[in-house]
């Protein structure tokens, strides 16, 4: 029996892990939201670890509001960088493997081919910089970590682009969606499966991994695919128009597709269209 702490339990990824928990009777999960365990409080973290015997800590907790991070820099760094450090220190002290979720936003988006794990990082937003600092803090403390960079995460839980489009479609809203950025939508349920696979197989190939679904898309492509999968009559479909760019506080990588070669040694990856279709088939 492996004992696993999951922080950020109420977020979309945390809820996806909770959903598959019944299929994994040999894992004793401890799901903690920020209310249950404040990971920005070093004493609370250390006390919690010393009172439990964990094998793994899965850090799903993050400050993810890319726009708001520009004006809440201190808060973004506290959650994404300092808290990651506190968890890494507690893991090192208690011989716990850390599985930490990071982002494609650690890159600047100037590359024209998918980013590999060893590519130079150069975040162009506070959010991206705070997540990179979290990665660096972990790496400075110990070696028993999996840092999983992912992109454009969505699920049937929490707040995300996918759920926003579903709501807008229901309201028959007029949609104007950008074609400026290219990346890969990632079903958080697939990321949850990867995390559990690492735990179940007791994988010791520590390091940084890139994980998303396969293929690439713009936000416009993603929206179009969501609407198509709703199987609405033509008259029922919301109007959808592409727009080249839109004004935002935070800069975003123009291209942030991740190379999945390394992670395919652990789990099979599927196309973002197939994964989206599976989710919508099961939840609509």
d(CA 271, CA 284): 20
CATH classification at residue 199: 3.40.50.720
Ramachandran region, residue 202 (left: φ > 0; alpha: ψ -120 to 50; beta: rest): left
d(CA 162, CA 160): 6
The reply to whether 80 falls in a domain is: yes
According to the model, what pLDDT value does residue 247 have? 83
According to the model, what pLDDT value does residue 244 have? 85
Of 44, 13, 66, 53, the C-alpha closest to 183 is 66
Q: 145-150 and 97-103 as β-strands: parallel, antiparallel, unpaired?
A: parallel
Structure token pair of residue 40: 């920005």
The reply to whether 16 falls in a domain is: yes
The reply to whether 259 falls in a domain is: yes
Q: To 5 degrees, how large is the angle CA 235–CA 241–CA 246?
A: 150
The reply to whether 94 falls in a domain is: yes
Torsion angle of C-alpha atoms 134, 137, 142, 148, degrees rounded to 10: 20
Low-confidence ranges of the chain (pLDDT < 50): none
According to the model, what pLDDT value does residue 246 have? 76
DSSP letters spanning 64-78? --HHHHTT-HHHHHI
The reply to whether 61 falls in a domain is: yes
The reply to whether 29 falls in a domain is: yes
According to the model, what pLDDT value does residue 172 have? 87
48, 56, 77, 127: which is the annotated catalytic residue? 127
Give me the domain span that covers residue 73. Answer: 2-159+185-214+255-270
Domain count, the chain: 1
- Catalytic residue flag (residue 220): no
| pLDDT tens-place string over residues 134-146 | 999 999 999 999 9
The reply to whether 173 falls in a domain is: no
What pTM does this model have? 0.97
The reply to whether 225 falls in a domain is: no
């Amino acid at each position: 029996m492996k004992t696993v702490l999951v922080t950020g339990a109420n977020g979309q990824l945390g809820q996806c892990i909770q959903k598959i928990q019944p299929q994994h009777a040999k894992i004793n999960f401890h799901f903690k939201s920020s209310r249950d365990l404040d990971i920005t409080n070093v004493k609370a973290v250390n006390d919690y670890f010393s009172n439990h015997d964990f094998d793994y800590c899965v850090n799903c907790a993050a400050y993810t509001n890319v726009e708001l991070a520009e004006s809440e820099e201190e808060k973004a760094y506290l959650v994404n960088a300092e808290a990651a450090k506190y968890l890494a220190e507690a893991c090192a002290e208690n011989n716990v493997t850390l599985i930490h979720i990071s982002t494609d936003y650690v890159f600047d988006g100037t590359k024209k081919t998918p980013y590999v794990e060893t590519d130079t990082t150069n975040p162009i937003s506070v959010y991206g910089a705070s997540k990179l600092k979290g990665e660096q803090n972990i790496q400075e403390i110990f070696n028993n970590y999996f840092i999983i960079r992912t992109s454009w995460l969505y699920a049937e839980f929490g707040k995300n682009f996918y759920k926003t489009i579903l709501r807008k479609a229901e309201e028959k809203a007029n949609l104007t969606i950008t074609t400026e950025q290219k990346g890969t939508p990632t079903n958080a349920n697939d990321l949850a499966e990867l995390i559990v696979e690492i735990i179940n197989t007791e994988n010791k190939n520590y390091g940084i991994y890139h994980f998303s679904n396969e293929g690439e898309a713009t936000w416009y492509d993603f929206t179009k695919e969501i609407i198509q999968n709703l199987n609405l009559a033509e008259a029922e479909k919301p109007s959808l128009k592409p727009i080249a760019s839109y004004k935002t506080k935070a800069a975003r990588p123009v291209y942030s597709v991740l190379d999945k070669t390394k992670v395919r040694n652990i789990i099979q990856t599927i196309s973002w269209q197939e994964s989206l279709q599976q989710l919508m088939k099961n939840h609509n």
